[in-house]
Structure 1
């Protein structure tokens, strides 16, 4: 494997781990701690909220440090640091301790998106497809958080779900640091001052302002949708697919499945299937971004979400699984679109910082979604949440209709 391919593989693994670490607690809370610590699901979500705010608020400082110091150096800090933080979180004995651990995980998780995505969009051609492939890895991290955590809860206890990925991330970080050491050292040298381009016309400034408003508006709303679906899906399936899960568990046991494939494992497996299949939507989206541009692609995925969120209330078993797959196809499919637009419009020397601002907006919205989930669930249940998310998808669809058919390209 040549050096560029290895680097891209490391960046993809980083995206996988980033999303997996931020969602381990979602399955642990839903399937283990509600029983072990005798707290409600809504109460447990409160301890995850500060970590998601950190995930957003520290994105800009991470991008700034990457631009000023070293993007490769920041990635090395990410791998090793988040691994240590995850292991420490696994030792928590109280809700407050686990909340502190999740906050530190969030601070270190904030590094990946402004740094890793800036490297992907700056270094390789076919930006749409590269972002899509990278996005699939991130979504498989989302899926694996539910699958692996569920399996580990049944077979080794919930603490192992923090310990094992943490140790793996530290090892990967050591290998990454060794393989990219020359680039880390080279990045310490002062960069040449950027050459100023011609002044922008008033029309171009107005167009860029309109695109920026749409990007950040859709980023905020789509982040609420993404968090509400990915974080709560294990709990949704625990309520609506529990009978199916019990049947599959008994079937696997009759086949002599190794280990204990109990309800938690099956719920995690159902969530993994939905997340993994839905993540493939990004490959289709990435292909069409390079061919037809972001506007028509974005309108299609927003429409998908609107339809399936509207259909989901009241559904159970197979129909609930099918509707969940439908809205997750839309939720995952939209992820690379705003990153694609930023990569095309933002100038290279400030790209990591622009991505930092984008993810401050995105992950702060992610954090805001947790109190929303808790409040709506505790008072009305998930059906009302689905109706709220359907309205959010409509807002995205209306905003995207205002995008220009062709994006201006950064000088």
Structure 2
């Protein structure tokens, strides 16, 4: 039991680091703009390398996760994040910065196909575990504006990468030493005697599942990454003078994202007890309404609207992962997660240029109207998920 708890804690920490490091640059850009000058969109574009690598590395990581000890891949995750952030911190020009961000993205691509597969191993009801793990991932999202903003305010934009690089390196080395990952015998996906069997679907239902899950992953990936990238800039533009500068912007963004992250625990409980498609439909519809309102919001109401919108966005994540856990055997689960995350993370590479381009052309109202439209597509698709009765009966 203690070993399982420790393993779950490390998996949660890995999820936290993954999203924290991916979003250091979008907040550091605000400090770079003040120190170096230049347009926001131009300075933001190197983040595209991180998100492209994040998506491109997912399938290879899933393949490795079914063939190589997954604990070793987690060590590689921590050390790779450290190396990438170190390169970004010492960058002498845009090329080296882009290389560092790409290495961050490539290292981060390990987590979702490998780490999520480890989270659901040996569990009958996976919703709660995925909800808790998802909270840590989104706390990483939440912490990024505060960590990057605070470090950049104190030490300049390079400090936003240097300190996290040191912490990740120490974490990776400590994890390897304490858990003995490097010296452990080779194994890939241990199967517990208590692991729930995959819940078979007929050919028609499989097609419907793939279609809806693919649609939700594609649209949800754009909404998730687009909103988390643009939130610091939105708060700076609409509330910056009232917040007292970069640190205040980072603190509010962190508060919003941290509060929203806990929605995943509630959703995790719901999807263990209620039809998944009803929960998904309701959340996606709520996203559409709230995101549209955020695009036109101002003043204190904007912070409340952003909190509600991000809670709905974050709450959708464990639903996708639970669908995979219910229908994939452990031996190939990492690869199926990889395919799913290729869509949700691969299309996230479009989020940065989309944010930069739409912000330049139409401002926040147009950008958030696009986000709302994507959420509405998921709400329309959700009722086409296969009937949950068989899956629920199997879980009892």
TM-score by length of 2: 0.93
Aligned to 1:249: none
Partner of 1:252: none
Q: Give CA-to-partner distance per residue, 1:325-355, whole Å, 9 cap, x none.
A: 1210111111111011001111210001111
1:24-173 correspondence to structure 2 within 5 Å: 24-29=24-29, 31-173=30-172
| Aligned equivalents of 1:90, 1:84: Cα separation in 2 | 10
Match of 1:212 in 2: 210
In 2, are the aligned partners of 1:86 and 1:163 still within 8 Å (CA)?
Answer: yes
- Is the contact between residue 341 and residue 407 of structure 1 (CA under 8 Å) also seen in structure 2? no
Hey, what does 1:195 align to over in structure 2? none
1:312 CA displacement = 2.4
CA–CA separation in structure 1 for the residues paired with 2:182 and 2:162: 30
What is the CA deviation profile of residues 183-214 of structure 1, one whole-angstrom value per residue up to 9, with x for unaligned ones?
9633358999xxxxxxx99x702211210111
**Structure 1: which 5+ runs fail to align?**
193-199, 247-262
Indicate if the aligned counterparts of 1:149 and 1:161 stay in contact, CA closer than 8 A: yes
- Aligned-residue offset at 1:61: 0.3
Q: Determine helix, strand or coil for the equivalent of 1:241.
A: helix
**Distance in structure 1 (CA, Å) of the matches to 2:275 and 2:8:** 24
Deviations, residues 210-250 of structure 1 (Å, cap 9, x unaligned) = 1011111110100100111100000000001113203xxxx
Given that 2:80 and 2:103 are in contact with CA atoms closer than 8 Å, whether structure 1 keeps it comes out as no
What SS does the aligned partner of 2:23 have? helix
Residues 171-192 of structure 1: CA deviation (Å, up to 9, x unaligned): 1112221233269633358999
CA RMSD of aligned residues (A): 2.1
State the TM-score, normalized to the length of structure 1: 0.89
Q: Tell me by how many angstroms 1:79 deviates.
A: 1.1
Q: Map of 1:8-407 to 2, 5 A cutoff?
A: 8-29=8-29, 31-181=30-180, 185-188=184-187, 204-246=202-244, 263-406=245-388
Per-residue CA deviation, residues 358-404 of structure 1 (Å, 9 max, x unaligned), is 11111111111111111111111111011111111110100111112
Contact 2:65 2:188 in 1 (8 A): no
Tell me: CA distance 1:208–1:11, structure 2 relative to 1, closer, same or farther (3 Å).
Answer: same
Residue range with higher mean Cα deviation, 20-29 or 362-371: 362-371
Aligned 8 A contact 2:85 2:100 in 1: yes
Q: Distance in 1 between matches of 2:97 and 2:73?
A: 25
Bigger-Rg structure (1/2): 1
Quick one: distance in 2 between partners of 1:373 and 1:280? 26
Output one character per residue of 1:270-326: Cα deviation in whole Å (capped at 9) or x when no partner: 001100110010010000011113211111211211111222233212111111112
The question of whether the paired residues in 2 share the 8 Å contact of 1:142 and 1:230 is answered with yes
Report the CA distance between 1:266 and its aligned residue: 0.4
Question: Is the contact between residue 66 and residue 115 of structure 1 (CA under 8 Å) also seen in structure 2?
Answer: yes
Q: What is the DSSP-based 3-state SS (H/G/I as helix, E as strand, rest coil) of the residue aligned with 1:313?
A: helix
Task: Quote the Cα distance in structure 2 between the aligned partners of 1:124 and 1:184.
Answer: 27
Stretches of 4+ moved more than 4 A in 1?
188-192, 407-410
> 2:194 corresponds to which residue?
none
Cα deviation, residue 405, structure 1 = 3.2
Q: Which structure 2 segments of 5+ residues have no match?
A: 192-198
Q: Distance in 2 between matches of 1:187 and 1:358?
A: 26
Say if 1:301 and 1:333, in contact at 8 Å, map to a contact too: yes
For the Cα contact (< 8 Å) 1:301–1:330, is it kept in 2? yes
State the match for 1:256 in structure 2.
Answer: none
Task: Give the conservation status (yes or no) of the 8 Å contact 1:17–1:141.
Answer: yes
CA gap of 1:188–1:4, structure 2 versus 1, over 3 A, is closer
